[in-house]
Structure 1
Amino acid sequence: MSPAKHSTRFRVWLALVLVALLLLILALQQRSTPPSESFAGLGEKAEEYAQARPGVTLHFPADHGAHPDYRIEWWYLTANLEDTEGEPLGVQWTLFRQALAPPGNDDTNDAGSPWSSRQLWMAHAALSTPDSHFVAERFARGMTLPDGKGQAGVEIAPFTAWLDHWRLESRVTDPAGDLLDRLLVSAQGNDNDHDFGYRLELTAEGPLVLHGKNGFSQKAADGQGSFYYSQPFYRVEGQVEIGGETRNVSGRAWLDREWSSQLLGPSQEGWDWFSLHLANGAKLMAFRLRGGGKGGDHYVSGSWISTDGQQTALATDDLWLTPVALSSVAGRQIPTRWRLRLPAQDLDVTVTARHPERWMDTSFPYWEGNVVVEGSHQGEGYLEMTGY
């Protein structure tokens, strides 16, 4: 190897080591943040970033891609699956993007180095069985590696979202089709010396759904919010791998897309978020933001999604989300059983975690797991709870 090539590779290696140290410092700082503060800093002021606001028209396929002028963004997939023996399984695949500096604050004096990018990427992969919960986490800086490819990012043509070898890829070849109509999702990880992974093919059987008012989802009484849409109609076929054993699986999946610059208000501690597949074919997305409502109450919102994909926006007066049972998880009291009521649809159900121990012990820890719906309607889905 020539001295020049050796020097270049050393500089790249050193830069990656420095990035890893920076991420470790940031993670340790976040772990020391009291849980009562706004989750993961999402309530911090962000005036210098682009702001989500009502009246903006979403455009596809462009809005399937990244929005680097906004502070935070994610591509968030959850799947309720069964293997050939009927055992229920849950899968999560998430790619997060966070801007480290507002638009126009790139370091132009350091172009070409890892530090010239202000975009930080984080990915989570999880696989749940009735007895186990496997979790892995990865980080990357939005930079170009020596082979000319980015370690993480999102491309539109063809649609691909990735961090290292964790990928969400479009399989749509029809130029008139939506890029998210057919996807392949894959990840491999290790949790306490237990290897796990999955490779799943997703086929949409319904349209994209814009939440709130044409894709603007209000998150507090003072009007702040996010751009938010979903593809909740996926049918899934594929394989999961646990400890070297491969299982064929099938089921349903839900993809969320959301971006904002200030998702929470300063007084909001976190959220409780539901995505439910009901047995009659309808879907329900519902969330409760703790704080930020009128008079200091919780802020509740959601979407009722009919079998043909028609969305009805739900407000605090339409929907009741009430925790009815707590579980001790990771030293915290977590509500793992809920009552959900939506009188307009004659819905009165209990939503119960399949297993309380679904704690995501990641840099920004939270609870995420598959749930069962019982009562006036039957079904299954996913529940995410942050800020506890």
Structure 2
Amino acid sequence: MSANWLLSRRAFAGGLATLLLARAARAQGFAGLGSEASGFTEVLPGKTLSFPADHGAHPDFRIEWWYLTANLTDERGEPLGLQWTLFRQAMAPGGEGSGWGSRQMWMAHAAVTRATSHHSAERFARGGIGQATVTATPFSAHLDNWQLRGNEATSAASLAPLEVSAAGADFSYALKLRTERPVVLQGDRGYSKKSERGQASYYYSQPYFEAEGSVTLGGRVSAVRGHAWMDREWSSQPLASDQTGWDWFSLHLSSGDKLMLFRLRHSDGRHYFAGNWIGIDGHSTALPTDGIELTPTAETMIGERRVPTSWRIAIPGRGVALTSTPLNANSWMTTRFPYWEGPITVSGSHAGNGYLEMTGYNANGG
């Protein structure tokens, strides 16, 4: 394989990605995720998720992702966070396709965040040519040399052990992820509603990873350890047409409980709330939509965008009253579809840390 051919292939993939993303940006909802999904497989309640098969790709659905975040501490006791994400997007209904006839596009994001810096990178790939693939057994997900992979010992129930690695122009990282606890179903046994009009995804998480490895920033290598959370979702229309973006929390509480919450913002201000309480025993319970309060308490100007980077989180039925604080309020992902993603700490009724992701905040305030 010649270097010129490889460069041409990547240039083609990048050019096609630009065209598709520009088209999506004009469509409904953040990144076009609220557009009508005729011809794609529909997300319906009552499906039983199956492992290891559902760790792999679902090309009959329009979009899916493998999303890892990690809250870490280096050898000097300083906190940092990292992100690794692989997205698959179908350009048209009809399943996988083969070779250059593949209907699939792939996109990957990676980031490292410290209190005083935030570094991010993005890559694209065309499906069908081996540049990006996901296999269920043994689990492996990659785009070029950005990898999230298991081995013959990786359990279908826990999706562990895994190794994750990525590198940008000014950072790199490599972690080993371990747990013996099984994955957790979000929503109602894996069926996660996104609106009252039927939009939904299939959604499960592995919130129990223990992480250990190294992060390189500015030529300095730091040994790190902590915990990580992986989300898996697939859907064909995860947003309603008038939903402009989301605010999503994944929290590791000092009690040992885990908490996932999100707010999907409607253009008329009538937002949709959902979440799951994951007890110490691993039991996942969907929270009532009217029992979740997510209230911004402070904003950060990032360019011309006003982004809510501190929050009050309340679940009165669980005795939860938290305040979230970002490690770095400028954790802005400078990707084709820009968004905020970074580590946070929480205090109040519970202590803990986790990650916050916010999308759809435009220059006019979002």
Structure 1 length-normalised TM: 0.88
Change (3 A) 1:348 1:57: same
Q: 1:363 and 2:336 equivalent?
A: yes
Residue by residue over 1:208-253, the C-alpha shift from the partner in whole angstroms, topping out at 9 and shown as x without a partner, is 1101111000000112200000000111111111122111001010
> How far did residue 380 of structure 1 move?
0.4
CA distance in 2, matches of 1:40, 1:83: 35
Residues 90-239 of structure 1 mapped to structure 2, 5 A cutoff: 90-103=81-94, 106=97, 112=99, 114=100, 116-144=101-129, 150-171=130-151, 173=153, 178=157, 180-190=159-169, 195-239=170-214
Q: 1:338 and 2:332 equivalent?
A: no
CA distance in 1, matches of 2:89, 2:111: 21
CA distance in 1, matches of 2:156, 2:128: 31
One-letter amino acid of the structure 2 residue matched with residue 249 of structure 1: V
Tell whether the 8 Å contact from 1:206 to 1:308 is kept in structure 2 after alignment. no
CA distance in 2, matches of 1:183, 1:105: 26
Q: What is the SS of the residue equivalent to 1:153?
A: strand
Tell whether the 8 Å contact from 1:172 to 1:181 is kept in structure 2 after alignment. no
Question: For the pair shown, which has the larger CA radius of gyration, 1 or 2?
Answer: 1
Residue by residue over 1:176-212, the C-alpha shift from the partner in whole angstroms, topping out at 9 and shown as x without a partner, is 653612110001111xxxx211110111253211011
User: Residue 364 of structure 2 corresponds to which residue in structure 1?
Assistant: none
> How far did residue 26 of structure 1 move?
3.7
Q: What is the SS of the residue equivalent to 2:54?
A: helix
One-letter amino acid of the structure 1 residue matched with residue 53 of structure 2: A
Structure 2 length-normalised TM: 0.93
CA distance in 1, matches of 2:156, 2:125: 31
Q: 1:21 and 2:1 equivalent?
A: no
CA distance in 1, matches of 2:302, 2:139: 37
One-letter amino acid of the structure 1 residue matched with residue 303 of structure 2: A
Q: CA RMSD in A?
A: 2.1
Change (3 A) 1:80 1:10: closer
Residues 84-95 of structure 1 mapped to structure 2, 5 A cutoff: 84-95=75-86
Structure 1: give runs of 5+ residues left out of the alignment.
145-149
One-letter amino acid of the structure 2 residue matched with residue 222 of structure 1: R
Q: What is the SS of the residue equivalent to 2:15?
A: helix
CA distance in 2, matches of 1:223, 1:154: 28
Change (3 A) 1:56 1:88: same
Change (3 A) 1:283 1:105: closer
User: Residue 147 of structure 1 corresponds to which residue in structure 2?
Assistant: none
> How far did residue 25 of structure 1 move?
3.4
Q: What is the SS of the residue equivalent to 2:291?
A: coil
Structure 2: give runs of 5+ residues left out of the alignment.
362-366
Q: What is the SS of the residue equivalent to 2:176?
A: strand
User: Out of 34, 40, 43, which is 1:52 matched to?
Assistant: 43
